[in-house]
Amino acid sequence: MSTEEKILNTSRIVAVVGLSPRPERPSYRVASYLKEQGYRITPVNPQVKEILGERSYPELVSIPEPIDVVDIFRRAEDVPAIVEEAIKIGAKAVWMQEGVINEEAAAQAREAGLLVVMDKCMLKEHQRLGGGKMAKDPVCGMEVAEKEAAATSEHEGKTYYFCALGCKKAFDENPEEYLKGGHQPS
């Protein structure tokens, strides 16, 4: 499995550093796409309070919850400081978008145990790898990529996705039990 696949398949929370509030900007389009695919987006832009309906933070270290991957839309010379923050907050990966190349920062991230992608677009890689929407298993609540679900089940015209066959079996035996608990398909 490639580094890109590992990041896209295991990450759920993406901090987008340099996310613009302007829909015509690449950062906005990528973040919007990722959000539509089921990823949780955390904007990092000190100039605005909210982007894509999500609170924006001035820097990575001010984000109160864990971050899986830091997606960087900043100039290459800004990357070392961002990587230092990514390491400090315990991010699992750093993704430098197309045109963003900083070998020293990439080496620093790798030395700290982070996965690193450089000079590639998350949106394009997600699409290239056949990525699709994420869904919540209605039995255990685990997020599962629809294309990688262990099983699916149809109920009242909706498709439900399962991380394991045991979850599908439990759902099929009594779907109302799981649906009344607030679990809904993505």
Handedness of CA 57, 62, 64, 70 (dihedral sign): positive
What does DSSP say about strands 151-155 and 13-17: parallel, antiparallel, or unpaired?
Answer: unpaired
Place 186 in a pLDDT band, splitting at 50, 70 and 90: very low
Amino acid identity of residue 39, one-letter, is Y
The CA distances from residue 11 to 15, 74, 85, 139, in Å, are 11, 21, 18, 21
Position 183 scores a pLDDT of 47
Q: Are 92 and 10 in contact (CB under 8 A)?
A: yes
Position 91 scores a pLDDT of 98
Position 184 scores a pLDDT of 47
Higher-scoring residue by pLDDT: 140, 60? 60
Place 22 in a pLDDT band, splitting at 50, 70 and 90: very high
Structural domains of the chain ordered from first start = 3-128 (3.40.50.720), 134-179 (no CATH)
The CA distance from 35 to 38, in Å, is 5
Position 133 scores a pLDDT of 62
pLDDT digits (tens, 9 = 90+) for 112-154: 999 999 999 999 998 888 765 667 778 777 666 676 667 788 8
Average pLDDT over residues 1-8: 93
- Report the Cα 80 to chain-centroid distance in Å: 22
- Does the pLDDT of residue 42 top 50, yes or no? yes
Measure the CA angle with vertex 185, ends 182 and 186; round to 5°: 115
- Does the pLDDT of residue 34 top 70, yes or no? yes
Tell me the pLDDT of the chain averaged across its residues.
Answer: 88
Classify residue 180 by burial, with Cβ atoms within 10 Å: 0-12, 13-18, 19+: exposed
Amino acid identity of residue 70, one-letter, is V
- Does the pLDDT of residue 173 top 90, yes or no? no
- Report the Cα 56 to chain-centroid distance in Å: 16
Classify residue 71 by burial, with Cβ atoms within 10 Å: 0-12, 13-18, 19+: buried
